[in-house]
Structure 1
Amino acid sequence: MKLPAMRSVDLFDRAAQDDLLQIRNDLMTVYREISAEDRRLFPLRYARAVPRRPRRARSGSGRAAADGATAGEPSVAQPQVPVLLIPDGPERASVLPYDVLRRSLAGRGLDVLMMEHRGVGLSRLDALGQDLPVQGMTLREVIGDLLAVLDHARAPRVVVYGAGYGAYLAQALAVFHPERVHSLVLDSPLTSADDELIAQQTMRAMYWDGTVPSTSTTAAVLRRLVAEGVVDGHRAGPAVLAVHEHGGRAAVRDLVDLLALGRGQLTWNSVRQVLDQGWLQSTPYVMEHDLTARIGYTELGKGRHADGGPLDPLSVAGERARSAPPFTSEVLDLHELAPAITAPTLVISGSQDLVAPPSIARAVAERIPGARLLEVNGAGHSMLDSRSQITQVAARWSACGVAHLLPEHAAALAALPATPTDQALSRGLQIALAAERYSPWRLRVESVKAKREQAQVDPRARRTRHLKVD
């Protein structure tokens, strides 16, 4: 018998979106009004991963923590409530980038929901296949989207795990609809338009003012490089931030030292060029900035505190904010509203996070009654994206009602590995620095080590642009 021909579907082609929906049984559609003023309907998508039998955990090890248990975990039944995961954003997609994570959580017995933010990916088009109008991009409508997904999924109560902007939405949901929230996990939380000011001040204290002892020497060298014209201090902030997020203080120190020796320009310029590329803000089904800019810049105030000063991490955001209507005031005052949250809350922060510094998470934990703080030593921004095994543990423990015990296991959690993507970025940065520091022979050794590490990455985590459809 002759088999039917196979055809290739380009996922970056919007016309192929319906094909993708047909071949995946985990994607659901809710028809929502664009806004209170625009009553036309558009298809809002969300993914659901139903629970499977969890793997047996080996207690007393880091692997046990990854499987949902650490040494001393209380004996608990299987989770009884679904988990709603809300990624950072508002420009970040939910469905395709976190496919592997949802399947892993389902393998640990969790029922996982993930909404595609309106204006992004599979929730970008209206019923006629046209882009949603910018006027429909508001926080009020997004919160309504979350409720519509819960209603459609018949999930009366859920654990809400939010990262960054997702944590902002999670807090709003817990304040205005407490009956729908079983518990909260706030990962690297966003709380107000002034959070960026805290991040800006923290980064400058570390790498410009030199008031942090562990980086004071790096800051002094960086100031000298700017004074000598080797580095453009007014545009250096995003590059230093990127190197810090993926390589930590050591990588920033090594890069600055190389620049002081007359090397390192290739790595420095490469980081700068990547950050300047438009595709970072316009990769279909991954990161789509254009329609959601109104939420990010007009309602959340992204880039508002960009000042054009030296080592400003907000310089790129400040430039992009000019293309959106200006920010006027907070839509929600979460600082004022947070004490009304009654759901059990776990706040997670990475000790090396310069996007949402730990001081923000500590303040959130103090504002929410009974909240517990988990600070992960050595981690950066967003466990959901950089330390997904910690996300899995936190989501499961929260669904079982024991997330308040997690801070007691902070050391075991900090020992869990970074995500394969984050490991690849970190390793790539190390190789780039090695290329300018070592001999060609040493560079070859570093490259071989990197290839071996990549070979150990779960092949399911590798993405492809093309799927075969019968």
Structure 2
Amino acid sequence: MERTGMEKQARRIVGRQGGTISRPLHPESSERFDLAYVRTGPRTQLPTLVLPGGPGLASVVPYRSFRKLAARRNLDLLMVEHRGVGLSGRTQDGAALPRESVTIELAADDVVAVLDDVGAKKAVIVGSSYGSYLAQAVAVRHPDRVESLVLDSPMLSVTGDLAAVRAHRRSVLWEGDSPAHGRVAELVRHLADAGEPMRALGQVVQVVYEFAGPEILERLLRARLRGRLGRLWSSLTHLSTGELEGAGTPFYMEPAPVAGIAYGQLGYGLPPDGGPLDPQLTFAEAAVRQPDYTGEPLDLPAEVPNYRWPTVVVSGDRDLRTPRPVAERIVELAPEGVLVPLASSGHSALDTHQLALLDVIHATLHGASTQLPVMANRIAALPRKGASRLVGTVLTVAVRATTRPSR
């Protein structure tokens, strides 16, 4: 769909389900832009506000199905179109928002402005991936507006998270930390020794492991060593490169307007360390054309111990982007931290396991967050909903159709 058609669709949704508020580009600016938001379900005194990842993911168009699922659960749901993106991407004069006006701090203040507009004193704030950092920015800057936090595939700190990601990826898929991963790790090392570029190898391993699991990954790696499934391999190596810079997909994913957050504040372009399966290899080429990292805006490890609300952390056991050690660290630091481990799940329940996330939100809203750990297996076993879940299905079918199980 062309941009004009997508924009019309987005405006129709906001016209039916939400609204816009006028916001300054920054507190001292006379220039303003219209910030869009949507609200579905019954109106209550305590809405749930959901912040997607990216940064650069829109809210209005991509999460229509999620909002329908939430409405069936009678959930009062708010979603905000992030400043710089989609319907929140232009000044009132029609110009794109300047990069310096798209920051985590200002985006957090936008969230509170939406709560003001709908008359909500507090909210359950849910953040997925980058959205978990933004949710915590709201909590730190405006603690009186938070009833509870639900952090899905969470972030905690730039350098600390990167060290944890590198260590986890290498432990699981390079060294083989368990019998279940030992054969996969051996095959990964064999492919590296055979000359497979590490950037491509790391990208394929991450996508297939997260979405389809170690058994499918092992079969794909064996096929690659035999010179098979080259077309599928090539497609996987390019799966995310189009979302790292440039226009992206308007009203769905727009990385360019938020590059100051991604690279300048959150260190997406920090250099590789020379080790295997480094996630920074994916960003290295794009990083040379992006803002330099100037430091993250918050010291969350110092702030989390001051949280005075339930903090529920949702973590997939196959998440290689915000892995379990990061989630466990947040739970350890938060006075009322609760871990909800999701078996056979990768990154972002908001995108891959929406019914599970809705169950977590429902329990949190009803004061039952401490019961969630014992409910985790049942929650993880719910049917998978979310557009990204189809990636795993497609990969599994494609690999199983052309390979045999390993012996």
Same fold (TM over 0.5): yes
| CA distance in 2: counterparts of 1:306 and 1:378, whole angstroms | 29
Is 1:363 matched up with 2:307? Answer: no
Within the alignment, does 1:34 sit opposite 2:25 as a pair?
yes
Letter in 2 for 1:158: A
Answer whether contact 2:243 2:253 (CA < 8 A) is retained: no
| Cα drift, residue 12 of structure 1 | 2.1
Partner of 1:129: 94
What's 2:168 paired with?
A: 202
Flag the 1:17–1:154 CA change in 2: closer, same or farther, 3 A. same
Which residue of structure 2 aligns with residue 48 of structure 1? 39
Matched residues in 1 for 2:79 and 2:219: separation? 39
RMSD value over aligned CA atoms? 2.1
Shift of the alpha carbon at 1:367? Answer: 0.6
Are 1:158 and 2:123 counterparts?
yes
CA contact (8 A) 2:243 2:254 kept: no
Cα distance in 2 for partners of 1:90, 1:151 equals 24
Matched, 1:83 2:48: yes
Equivalents in 2 of 1:328, 1:299: separation in Å?
6
1:430 is paired with a residue whose SS is helix
AA aligned to 1:154 is G
Paired residue for 1:459? none
Higher deviation after alignment, 189-198 or 143-152: 189-198
1:92-241 pair list within 5 angstroms: 92-194=57-159, 195-229=161-195, 231-241=196-206
Give the AA of the match of 1:233.
M
1:12 equivalent in alignment to 2:13: no
| Corresponding letter in the other structure for 2:321 | V
Shift of 1:262: 2.7
Task: Report the CA distance shift for 1:210/1:273 in structure 2 as closer, same or farther (over 3 A).
Answer: same
The 1:279/1:365 distance shift into structure 2, 3 A limit, reads closer
Equivalent pair of 1:202/1:357 in contact (CA under 8 Å):
yes
Normalization by structure 2: what TM-score?
0.92
Q: Which of these residues, 405, 421, 425, is aligned with residue 371 of structure 2?
A: 405
Higher mean displacement: 366-375 or 100-109: 100-109
* Percent identity for Structure 1 against Structure 2: 35
Within the candidate set 271, 286, 298, 1:320 is matched to: 286
1:139 aligned partner, one-letter code: I
Does the C-alpha gap of structure 1 residues 437 and 336 become closer, same or farther in structure 2, counting only changes over 3 Å? same
Corresponding residue to 2:306 among 322, 340, 354 = 340
State the Cα distance separating 1:180 from its structure 2 match. Answer: 0.8
Distance 1:19 1:208, change over 3 A: closer
1:245 match: 210
- C-alpha contact 1:205 1:212 (8 A) present in aligned 2: no
Deviations, residues 365-406 of structure 1 (Å, cap 9, x unaligned): 111102111111111111111110011111122222222211
Q: Deviations over 1:93-143 (max 9, x none)?
A: 111111121122122222111001111111111112221111111111111
Cα distance in 2 for residues equivalent to 1:328 and 1:420: 35
Aligned length: 401
Three-state SS of the structure 2 residue aligned to 1:262 is: coil
Change (3 A) 1:420 1:167: closer
1:197-253, Cα deviation, whole Å (9 max, x unpaired): 311221122222334432222222222222222x22243212211111211111211
Structure 1 residues not aligned, in runs of 5+: 1-9, 53-78, 439-470
Which structure has the larger Rg over C-alpha atoms?
1
CA separation in 2, counterparts of 1:420 and 1:147? 27
- Cα-to-partner distance string for 1:341-386 (whole Å, 9 max, x where unaligned): 1011211111111111111111101111021111111111111111
* 1:21 to 2:17 alignment: no
What is the CA–CA distance in structure 1 between the aligned matches of 2:243 and 2:134, rounded to whole Å?
27
Q: Distance in 2 between matches of 1:397 and 1:103?
A: 19
